[in-house]
Amino acid sequence: MSDIKKIVLAYSGGLDTSVIIPWLKENYHCQVIAVCADVGQGDELAPVREKAVKSGADKVYIEDLKQEFLEEYVWPTLKAGAVYEGKYLLGTSFARPVIAKALVKIAEQEGADAICHGATGKGNDQVRFELTVKALAPHLKIVAPWRLWDIRSREDAIDYAEKHNIPVPVTKKRPYSMDRNIWHLSHEGADLENPWNEPKDDVYMVTKTPEQAPDKPTYVEITFEKGIPVAVDGVKLGAVALLEKLNDLGAANGIGIADIAENRLVGMKSRGVYENPGGAILYYAHRELEYLTLDRATMHYKEQVAVRYAELVYDGMWFSPLREALDAFVNATQATVTGLVRLKLYKGNIMSAGSKSPYSLYHEEFVTFGRDEVYNQKDAEGFINLFGLPLKIRALMQQSQKEGKGQ
Note the pLDDT tens digit of each residue in 17-40: 889 999 999 999 999 999 999 999
Q: Provide the pLDDT for residue 291.
A: 98
Across the range 221-240, mean pLDDT stands at 98
- Has 96 been annotated as catalytic? yes
**Do the Cβ atoms of 79 and 228 come closer than 8 Å?**
yes
Side-chain-facing half-sphere of 380: CA atoms under 13 Å: 4
Q: Does 366 have pLDDT greater than 70? A: no
| Catalytic residue selected from 16, 38, 113, 179 | 16
| Catalytic residue selected from 55, 177, 270, 357 | 177
| Catalytic residue selected from 55, 96, 323, 357 | 96
Q: Provide the pLDDT for residue 373.
A: 75
Q: Provide the pLDDT for residue 173.
A: 61
Q: Provide the pLDDT for residue 374.
A: 80
For residue 124, say whether it is annotated as part of any ligand binding site. Answer: yes
- Has 16 been annotated as catalytic? yes
- Has 177 been annotated as catalytic? yes
For residue 314, say whether it is annotated as part of any ligand binding site. Answer: no
For residue 11, say whether it is annotated as part of any ligand binding site. Answer: yes
For residue 37, say whether it is annotated as part of any ligand binding site. Answer: yes
Across the range 330-345, mean pLDDT stands at 98
pLDDT confidence band for 171 (50 / 70 / 90): low
Q: Does 155 have pLDDT greater than 70? A: yes
**Do the Cβ atoms of 316 and 128 come closer than 8 Å?**
yes
Beta partners for residue 344, in sequence order? 219, 351
Q: Which domains does the chain have, with CATH numbers?
A: 6-175 (3.40.50.620), 184-294+337-356 (3.90.1260.10)
For residue 120, say whether it is annotated as part of any ligand binding site. Answer: yes
For residue 177, say whether it is annotated as part of any ligand binding site. Answer: yes
Across the range 294-302, mean pLDDT stands at 98
Which of 22-31, 234-243, 376-385 has maximum average pLDDT? 234-243
For residue 262, say whether it is annotated as part of any ligand binding site. Answer: yes
For residue 360, say whether it is annotated as part of any ligand binding site. Answer: no
Q: Provide the pLDDT for residue 2.
A: 63
Beta partners for residue 6, in sequence order? 31
Q: Provide the pLDDT for residue 154.
A: 74
For residue 13, say whether it is annotated as part of any ligand binding site. Answer: yes
| Catalytic residue selected from 38, 55, 113, 125 | 125
pLDDT confidence band for 47 (50 / 70 / 90): confident
Q: Provide the pLDDT for residue 169.
A: 62
pLDDT confidence band for 65 (50 / 70 / 90): very high
User: What percentage of the chain carries pLDDT values higher than 70?
Assistant: 95
Least confident of 14-18, 59-63, 216-220, 229-233: 14-18
Q: Provide the pLDDT for residue 375.
A: 78
